[in-house]
Amino acid sequence: MKLSDMPLGKPATITAVRGEGALRLRLLDMGIIPKTAVVVKKVAPLGDPLQIHLRGYELTIRRAEADLILVEVAG
Amino acid sequence: MIFALAGNPNSGKTTLFNQLTGANQRTGNFPGVTIDQKSGLMKYDRRCTLVDLPGIYSLRPYSGEEVITRDFLLHSVPQGIINIVDATNLERNLYLTLQLLVLRIPMVVALNMMDEVRQNGDSIDTQKLSELLGVPVVPISASKNEGLEELTKQAIRVASKEIKPLVQDFCAPGPIHRCIHAVYHQIEDHAVEARLSGRFAAVKLIEGDEDILARLQLGENEKQTIEHLVTEMEAECGTDRHAVMAEMRYAYIESVCRQAVRRVAAESREYRRSVRLDRILTHRYLALPLFFGIMVLVFYLTFGVIGAALADMLESGIGVLTAGVDRLLGDFGLNPVLHSLIIDGIFAGVGSVLSFLPIIVVLFFFLSILEDSGYMARIAFVMDQLLRKIGLSGRSVVPLLIGFGCTIPALMATRTLSSERDRKMTILLAPFMSCSAKVPVYAVFAAAFFPRSAAWVMTGLYFGGILVAVLVALLLKRTAFSGNPVPFVMELPNYRFPSLKTTLRLIWDKAKDFLTRAFTIIFVATLVIWVLVSFDYRFNVVTDSSHSLLAGIGHLLVPLFAPLGFGHWQAVTALLSGLAAKEAVVSSLGVLLGVSAEGLPTVLAALFTLPAALSFLTFVLLYPPCVAAMAATRRELRSGVKTVGVVLSQCGIAWLASLLVYQVARLLF
């Protein structure tokens, strides 16, 4: 499923990072790569962007970007 | 010796730079604060120069910051790199470190914020870390000034002995390893010729880096071989080349952290504190009211209390000084023209510009606190959705809001925007936020024409400015700034207490920046205006300002303003004088119409029809702000031609909007 569809606070594991060009490279550089644990922490008051937690730090990405990140619920 | 200081945004890089050099430079707890390359002599060894490079996450040739850092490291080839790493966020910070290591430049890692790590009861085995990275690792605390002498010593040691990083292999034996080595052998000679590290070039080629590909000047055969090698690796690994390299680096980092880092709790105290603060500050319902509340408070304190008091003091000081010089010159019997030049030109002009200084200082005091504390990143998070509709990102909201106070600090504040595209768009839009100097003009006209609904007219003007900014933004989004907006991938750093030292440094920098301009370009501009006001076209001194050169230009421009409903030279001349400072519009109208301030509304009511008054107000709202703001635009855009373009388009927009307002108002009233 997409990261953007994950319920808040539920741990997930990244399975794939879609997208292309500079945007995808940026996501990869920030540590958004397969097998990484990630949690959606918060949604901004106006519904976008999202605040996510990974690798011990907080990152905000827009929904459009979160749509490109595929995850599975961490087991 | 030249050292480069490289590291992630928010790693404390600028604080370290300030501590190592003592130079004036700003810092911020917000991604991408540093834009210009700054350098300074190192405190512990004055023969060494330290260059502060923009904070970046990776050595890719995409964002402006990445290009600057990369070009500096590849072209200027410093004798050493000081790589600052946030010890509380080690995993992500080491990602850049691994890319720097393969540049084969002598390097030390400055492990910053070790005080926080210790306070949390965590520990990092710096010996082990140093072994795994193949470079010296020095634990420091930039804000507490700990470990910096040792850091300098180590940096000088590796640089003077040219000790290159000992580790450059981050992959386990397997397809990636084979691919990197095969590509390395293909390009080895080319890399030597292009003066690039072979290892760096090989890895970047595999990642599809066009810039490196062009530098290596490979033949067709070599390119095909490399492509074949990379495709083979992709097939064996089951992922694409970009993901493969990122995964390789993070896998190595994870193993480094497993061996060298020991954490007591999963979350640090600073992190937990940030989460608690965010529960309120980015709360679903509280976030927006709190943000506006904080901005109102900043404005009230700046324009209502502290800034105003300081401005009053400064103004009376200048007043006393001016009066004193005036009397001295009178007693001395100086030529009246020179006398007028000094008093009405230099003292009045520079004095009026100087009166902005306290406001700028106070505003930047608050801004610096908002930024260094980490709240600015939250503002971007909260406001992003709203600003994206007009093609900007959440970060632009603060400069735009400052525009309601004064355009000059608004333009100066765009420096914190990390994307050039957002920055330019914000510079173009900020002047449409009605600044506080325009209020006296609105007030006089409101008193003359709408005594009972003055508040409504004022509110309407403010919203009119916002409306025009939105329309211009939408137009820009479709034309000059079309194409992909910058991805909004932004770190939310932990909240930190801003340091007084950093704040004072920022204020000093901004004040110096403004004063330099006040005494150069703005000084010249005020002299030009004085000449235009004081002489007629035969260059005789005028006694009646209606004969001045400025009034002459006003007369010439009358036909241009006739369609807007105020085609009389007094109005046009007042607008021209408003280019010096918006407050001058009211005083010029008074002088040109020969009435006192109390009598002005009555005379204006006779001179302007109601639609013409609305049209005039619209023009004042939208036409270019003062000379000082134009100078700031030039400084921020770094181009005289573009600035002229901006000023002319502001005039054009003001003219069209006023025409529209006049014609519609004529139908209604």
- Which residues partner with B41 through β-bridges? B49
For residue A2, give the 3-state DSSP assignment.
strand
Higher pLDDT, B607 or B486: B607
- Among A36, A52, A67, A64, CA closest to B243: A36
Domain boundaries, chain A: 3-73
Report residue B27's pLDDT band, with 50, 70 and 90 as the boundaries.
Answer: very low
Interstrand relation of A50-54 and A57-61 (parallel, antiparallel or unpaired): antiparallel
Q: Tell me the pLDDT tens digit for each residue of B204-253.
A: 999 988 889 999 999 899 999 999 999 999 999 988 999 999 999 999 99
Give yes or no for residue A28 having a pLDDT over 80: yes
Compute φ and ψ for B50, nearest 5 degrees: -115, 125
What Cα–Cα distance (Å) separates residue A11 from each residue in A39, A52, B489, B493? 5, 11, 20, 21
Residues B29 and B105 placed together within one structural domain of the fold: yes
Band the pLDDT of B486: cuts 50, 70, 90. Answer: low
Q: Dihedral sign for Cα B60, B62, B67, B71, please.
A: positive
Count CA atoms within 13 Å of residue A45 on its CB side: 22
What is the DSSP secondary-structure string of B260-308?
A: HEE-SSSS-HHHHHHHHHHHHHT-TTTHHHHHHHHHHHHHIIIIIIHHH
**Residue/partner pairs of B334-342 with CB below 8 Å, 24 or more apart:** B336/B541, B337/B534, B337/B541, B340/B530, B340/B534, B340/B541, B341/B527, B341/B530, B341/B534
Closest CA in chain A for residue B289: A45
| Whether the predicted pLDDT of B375 surpasses 70 | yes
Span B517-528, average pLDDT: 75
Domain termination site, one of B160, B189, B221: B160
3 state DSSP class of A72: strand
Please tell me the predicted confidence (pLDDT) of residue B231: 95
How many CB pairs lie under 8 A apart between chains A and B? Answer: 108
Do B30 and B118 belong together in one domain?
yes
B183-206: average pLDDT: 92
Cα–Cα distance for residue pair B165/B397, rounded to 1 Å: 43
ipTM of the complex: 0.96
Distance CA B43, CA B50 (A): 10
Which residue, of B160, B185, B216, is where some domain finishes?
B160
Two structure tokens written together for B28: 């911020």
Q: How far apart are CA B206 and CA B179, in angstroms?
A: 8
**Contact list, B388 vs chain A (CB under 8 Å):** 48, 62
Say yes or no: B107 and B14 in one domain. Answer: yes
45-64 of A, contacting B, C-beta below 8 A: 45-49, 51, 55-62
Give the residue, B637 or B436, on which the prediction is more confident.
B637
Backbone angles phi, psi at B624, to 5 degrees: -55, 140
Structure tokens at B416: 């914190």
Residues in chain A, how many? 75
Q: Is the pLDDT confidence value at A22 over 50?
A: yes
Statement to judge: residues B127 and B257 lie in one domain: no
What is the predicted pLDDT for the residue at B5? 95
Residue B142: how many other CB atoms lie within 10 Å: 26
Mutate which of B242, B269, B277 to disrupt the A interface (most A C-beta within 10 Å)?
A: B242
How many C-beta neighbours within 10 Å does residue B224 have? 11
Pairwise CB contact (< 8 Å): A45 & B489: no
Please enumerate in sequence order all residues whose Cβ is within 8 A of that of B240, keeping only pairs 6 or more positions apart, or say none.
Answer: B234
With residue B329 as reference, give the H or E element that holds it. helix B306-332
Reported as type and span, the H/E element at residue A12 is strand A12-17
Put simply, whether B257 touches A (Cβ < 8 Å) is no
Q: Chain B, 349-408: which have a CB under 8 Å from a chain A CB?
A: 380-382, 384-386, 388
Please tell me the distance in Å from B458's CA to the nearest CA on chain A.
Answer: 29
Same domain, B121 and B21: yes
Q: What pLDDT sits at residue B168?
A: 77
A25: distance to nearest CA of chain B, Å? 7
Domain boundary among B262, B291, B314: B262
Nearest CA in chain B to A60: B490
Residue A26 and residue B487: Cβ atoms within 8 Å?
yes
**pLDDT above 50 (res A1):** yes
Whether residue B582 has pLDDT greater than 60: yes
In the numeric block, which tokens belong to residue B550? 């400025």
Give me the pLDDT at residue B30, please. 36
The pLDDT of residue B34: 43
Predicted confidence (pLDDT) at residue B47 exceeds the cutoff of 90: no
Cβ-defined contact of A47 to B385 (cutoff 8 Å): yes
Tokens 């007629």 belong to B536
Q: Using CA of residue B555, residue B557, residue B562, residue B568, what is the dihedral sign?
A: negative
With contacts defined as CB-CB under 8 Å, which chain A residues touch B489? Answer: 23, 26-27, 30, 59-61, 65
CATH code at position B237: 1.10.287.1770
Cβ distance B384 to A51 less than 8 Å, yes or no, reads: no
Pairing of the two strands A37-43 and A50-54: antiparallel
- Kind plus residue range of the DSSP H or E element containing B242: helix B241-260
Same domain, B253 and B154: no
> Helix crossing, B549-561 with B569-577: angle to 10°?
110
The DSSP call for residue B546 is: G
Contacts of B495 in chain A (CB under 8 A): none
The answer to whether residue B324 neighbours chain A at the CB level (below 8 Å) is no
Q: Is residue B285 part of a domain?
A: no
Give whichever of B19-28, B37-46, B604-613 has the largest mean pLDDT.
B604-613
Tokens of B446: 């409101």
Q: Is the pLDDT of residue A44 over 90?
A: yes
Is pLDDT above 60 for B120? yes
Q: Which domain holds residue B145?
A: 2-160
Residue B407 in contact with residue B632, Cβ under 8 Å?
Answer: yes
CB distance A59–B492 less than 8 Å? Answer: yes
Instruction: Summarize pLDDT for B167-190 with one digit per residue, the tens.
Output: 878 888 889 999 999 999 999 999
CA distance B277 to A58: 14
| pLDDT at position B484 over 70 | no
Class of domain A3-73: mainly beta
Question: What are the start-end ranges of the H helices in B341-419?
Answer: 348-354, 357-372, 375-388, 397-402, 407-413
Lowest mean pLDDT among B57-61, B153-157, B411-415: B411-415
- The confidence score (pLDDT) of residue B33 equals 40
Which residues in B lie closer than 8 A to residue A61 (C-beta atoms)? Answer: 487-489
- Alpha-carbon dihedral angle through residues B512, B518, B520, B525, given to the nearest 10 degrees: 160
Could you give the dihedral angle defined by the CA atoms of residues B198, B200, B204 and B209, in that order, rounded to the nearest 10 degrees? -80
Q: Is residue B81 part of a domain?
A: yes
Task: Give whole-number Cα distances, B41 to A36, B24, B108, B152, B226, in Å.
Answer: 42, 11, 18, 12, 44
In a domain, B125, yes or no: yes
pLDDT, average across residues B282-294: 93
Mean pLDDT along residues B71-83: 89
Cα B667–chain centre separation: 44
User: Cβ distance B142 to B20 under 8 Å?
Assistant: no
Per-residue pLDDT tens over the stretch B321-370:
989 999 999 898 888 888 888 888 788 777 767 777 887 788 888 888 88
Rounded CA-CA distance A62/A27 in Å is: 12
Report d(CA B9, CA B210) in Å as an integer.
25
Do B181 and B149 belong together in one domain? no
Q: Label the pairing between strands A37-43 and A12-17.
A: antiparallel
Least Cα separation, residue A21 to chain B (angstroms)? 10
Which residues from B are below 8 Å from A49, CB to CB? 381, 384-385, 488
Structure tokens at B415: 């420096």
Taking CA–CA distances from A22, the nearest residue in chain B reads B62
H or E element at residue A57: strand A57-61
Assigned token pair, B272:
């937990």
Residues of chain A with C-beta less than 8 angstroms from the C-beta of B88: 56
User: What string of DSSP letters covers B308-326?
Assistant: HHHHHHHHHHHHHHHHHHH
Residues B23 and B89 in one domain: yes
B-chain CB neighbours of A13 within 8 Å are: none
Using the beta-carbon criterion (under 8 Å), do A22 and B62 form an inter-chain contact? yes
Contact assignment for B491 to A59 by CB distance below 8 Å:
yes
Contacts A17 to B, Cβ<8 Å? 243
More confident residue, B506 or B566: B566
Q: For B197, which DSSP code?
A: -
Over residues B269-279, mean pLDDT: 94
Same domain (yes/no): B156, B11: yes
- Are B264 and B364 contacting, i.e. CB atoms less than 8 angstroms apart? no
Interval B87-108 mean pLDDT: 95
Give the C-alpha separation, B355 to B273, whole Å: 40
A59 with B490: Cβ contact below 8 A: yes
Give yes or no: residues B156 and B179 share one domain: no
Q: Does residue B203 share a domain with residue B147?
A: no
User: Is residue B67 over pLDDT 60?
Assistant: yes
Nearest-by-CA chain B residue for A59 = B491
Give B89's Cβ-side CA count (13 Å radius).
27
User: Residue B36: pLDDT band by 50, 70, 90 thresholds?
Assistant: low
Beta-ladder partners of A42: A51
When pLDDT is cut at 50, 70 and 90, the band that residue A23 belongs to is confident
Q: Are residues B149 and B197 in the same domain?
A: no
Among the ranges given (B72-81, B241-250, B504-513), the one the predictor scored with the smallest mean pLDDT: B504-513
User: Residue B107: is its pLDDT beyond 80?
Assistant: yes
SS3 at position B101: helix
CB contact under 8 Å between A45 and B60, yes or no, is no
Residues from chain B that touch A22, judged by Cβ atoms under 8 A, are 60, 62, 487
Give, to the nearest 10 degrees, the angle between helix B454-478 and helix B439-449.
Answer: 130
C-alpha–C-alpha distance, residues B263 and B599, integer Å: 75
Q: What is the pLDDT of residue B172?
A: 81
B239 to chain A, any CB pair closer than 8 A? The answer is: yes
What is the number of domains present in chain B? 2
B282, pLDDT greater than 60: yes
**Number of Cα atoms under 13 Å in the Cβ half of residue B289:** 5
**A contacts of B270 (beta carbons < 8 Å):** none
Contact B192, B139 (CB under 8 A): no
Cβ neighbours of B280 in A, within 8 Å:
none
- pLDDT value for B23: 58
CA–CA min distance A56, chain B (Å):
6
Do the domain assignments include residue B208? yes
In a 13 Å sphere around the CA of B458, the CA atoms on its Cβ side amount to 17
pLDDT in tens, B416-432: 776 778 889 999 999 99
Checking if the pLDDT of B537 tops 80, the result is yes
